[in-house]
A and B are shown apart, each in its own frame.
Chain A
């Protein structure tokens, strides 16, 4: 029972264009969402997060959008750079339940071509 789904295993974009990575969740109790980036041979590194009281959070080139009614969030990277090539994981938490547990998606491999 996959509660966090990243349905695109991979995405390829040209340098300078927008990258849009999508994530869907099924548990309506999730109220805090995070995106992690993972390079090969490294652990995931935190990128950006959003609380369910917001619908948008922006940090430089990275913006996360949350659509609670659709149980969908997306990560926008503008402009995309070759160094952004990595696996991106979406993660979700139910803050009212266990404050600790993150539920991850399977990840999307982003390739940014020069």
Chain B
């Protein structure tokens, strides 16, 4: 009964490769997010989708492309991987009603540790 799941948990790859990380939530939430945690544990938002529509796109290289086939899934594809892309990537989701409030609570997946060699 995992709420927010990510695959794979670990990803080790060579520079220049293309890779994808998948995220699924079974909470019935409308909004999903991708965050990046660097080696100093700093967490920063990358993207957000609401009902399959992109609503947040931070200053992320265009080698990163999110895709949301439906509101329960948000995948992250990374082209031409670089050493600096090594990090832990977290997916999150929230219900987010127009009224705000506790529905804005974000729930995080277990993370995907990406290592680029």
Whether chains A and B associate is: no
Measured CB to CB, the residues of A under 8 A from B are: none
Give residues in B with beta carbon < 8 Å to A.
Answer: none
